[in-house]
């Protein structure tokens, strides 16, 4: 349920009184005396690291990480229209604590039903000593193997769960919107001259058959997927790969996550070298975690299909320029994902599957 509490719209408006009100039930007797904004940034969403001084005797955490609506009006409209902030706040309020994989520990979350405002207080992972991989270029594959283990454990736990018709019915299918085809078209205009033929063929297919393609991608055994599991949305805690930023979480086939990570985050040659053993590792982990893992050949075809999800995400991000990521990061991910759809011949496969 949405909260009747007025939610802060900036890091600076997080007052001791407000923190006292929302956390005193979980931490009885807690009374905040001072709040320091250590660092704050507003991009796709607003983020702030907080240090709180509590009245003596409280066991409330002194280090907090806050997530709230972005300050940029265009970004705010996108987050509201796609329900991203509301979705993530509800994830932390109702689901995060039970997940079998490492995620930021939820502390408090609230949202408005229309998605216009949301606010999350979660664990400060940096304060907890977690690491944040910034590049896979120097990694020999350890992070990728850890990611396959994490995804297999997550997907296996919620594989075809009856709860999607019960208490988890609020977890939706993957987001759809008119902005995707528009931004893919913009990417063709901006980057098309230096991109291979497969880039143009997949762009045309996506723009002309958006709904049919999305229907194909939604078809399959559902599980809980992260939805945006690139390298930058991961962290490492004592050797375990964890996932943060759950605004795109949804109910969908698990191969969305697998293909998204492999095609988007690994350097091209590293992905070519490791994709088959990593897929085998995921399948073994999925079966061990309770999922009905397909045989390798079927899984390989699914990887080739779902490479399009990584390509669309990276291409849309690159077209948006610095609004979502730095231009360098966005274009590098687009180049990696484009190399993957070339290697997998994804446009031809999708044309056959769609009958177009």
Among 309, 132, 141, residue whose Cα is nearest residue 218: 309
Whether pTM exceeds 0.85: yes
pLDDT at residue 46, rounded to an integer: 85
Give the whole-angstrom CA distance, residue 102 versus residue 27: 23
pLDDT at residue 1, rounded to an integer: 58
Q: Which two three-digit tokens encode residue 354? A: 């769609």
Residue burial 145-177, b: 16+ Cβ < 10 Å; e: rest: bbbbbbbbbbbbbbbebeebeeeeeebeebbee
Among 223, 5, 242, 260, residue whose Cα is nearest residue 111: 5
Instruction: Please report the domains of the chain, with CATH numbers, ordered by start residue.
Output: 11-123 (3.30.200.20), 142-354 (3.90.1200.10)
What would the 3-class secondary structure string for the chain be? CCCCCCCCCCHHHCCHHHHHHHHCCCCCCCCEEEEEEEEEEECCCEEEEEEEEECCCCCCCCEEEEEECCCCHHHHHHHHHHCHHHHHHHHHHHCHHHCCCCCCCEEEEEECCCCCCEEEEEECCCCCCCECCCCCCCCCCHHHHHHHHHHHHHHHHCCCCHHHHCCCCCCCCCCCCCHHHHHHHHHHHHHHHHCCHHHHHHHHHHHHCHHHHHHHHHCCCCEEECCCCCHHHEEEECCEEEECCCCCCEEECCHHHHHHHHHHHCCHHHHHHHHHHHHHHHHHHHHHCCCCCCCHHHHHHHHHHHHHHHHHHHHHHHHCHHHCCCHHHHHHHHHHHHHHHHHCCHHHHHHHHHCC
For residue 300, the tally of other CB atoms under 10 A from its CB is 15
Q: Which two three-digit tokens encode residue 73? A: 């009006």
pLDDT at residue 106, rounded to an integer: 97
Per-residue pLDDT of the chain (356 residues; tens, 9 = 90+): 578 889 998 899 999 999 999 999 899 989 999 999 999 887 677 899 999 999 988 999 999 999 998 877 777 777 777 888 999 999 999 999 999 999 999 999 999 988 888 999 999 999 999 999 876 555 778 999 999 999 999 999 999 999 999 999 999 999 988 889 999 999 999 999 999 999 999 999 999 999 999 999 999 999 999 999 999 999 999 999 999 999 999 999 999 999 999 999 999 999 999 999 999 999 999 999 999 999 999 999 999 999 999 999 999 999 987 665 667 777 999 999 999 999 999 999 999 999 99
Q: Which two three-digit tokens encode residue 320? A: 């948006």
pLDDT at residue 321, rounded to an integer: 73
């Amino acid at each position: 349920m949405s909260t009747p509490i007025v939610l802060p719209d900036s890091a600076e408006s997080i007052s001791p009184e407000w923190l006292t009100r929302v956390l005193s039930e979980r931490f009885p007797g807690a009374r905040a005396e001072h709040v320091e904004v250590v660092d704050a940034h507003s991009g796709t969403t607003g983020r702030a690291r907080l240090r709180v001084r509590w009245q003596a005797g409280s066991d409330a955490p002194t280090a907090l990480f806050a997530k709230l609506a972005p300050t940029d009006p265009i970004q705010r409209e996108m987050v509201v229209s796609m329900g991203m902030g509301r979705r993530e706040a509800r994830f932390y309020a109702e689901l995060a604590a039970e997940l079998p994989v490492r995620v930021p520990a939820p502390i408090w979350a609230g949202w408005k039903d229309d998605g216009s405002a949301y606010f999350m207080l979660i664990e400060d992972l940096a304060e907890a000593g977690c690491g944040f991989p910034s590049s896979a270029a120097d990694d020999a594959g350890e992070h990728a193997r850890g990611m396959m283990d994490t995804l297999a454990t997550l997907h296996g736990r919620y594989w075809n769960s009856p709860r999607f018709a019960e208490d988890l019915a609020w977890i939706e299918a993957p987001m759809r919107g008119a902005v995707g085809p528009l931004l893919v078209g913009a990417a063709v205009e901006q980057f098309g001259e230096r991109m291979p033929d497969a880039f143009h063929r997949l762009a045309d297919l996506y723009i002309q058959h958006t709904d049919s393609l999305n229907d194909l991608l939604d078809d399959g055994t559902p599980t809980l997927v992260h939805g945006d599991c690139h390298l930058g949305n991961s962290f490492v805690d004592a050797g375990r790969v964890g996932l943060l930023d759950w605004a795109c979480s949804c109910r969908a086939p698990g191969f969305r996550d697998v293909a998204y990570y492999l095609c988007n985050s690994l350097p091209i040659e590293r992905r070519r070298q490791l994709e088959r053993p990593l897929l085998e590792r995921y399948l073994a982990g999925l079966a061990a975690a309770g999922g009905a893992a397909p045989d390798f050949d079927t899984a390989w075809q699914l990887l080739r299909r779902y490479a399009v999800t990584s390509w669309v995400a990276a291409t849309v991000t690159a077209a948006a320029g610095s609004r979502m990521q730095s231009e360098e990061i966005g274009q590098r991910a687009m180049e990696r994902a484009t190399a993957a759809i070339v290697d997998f011949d994804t446009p031809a496969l999708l044309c056959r599957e769609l009958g177009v």
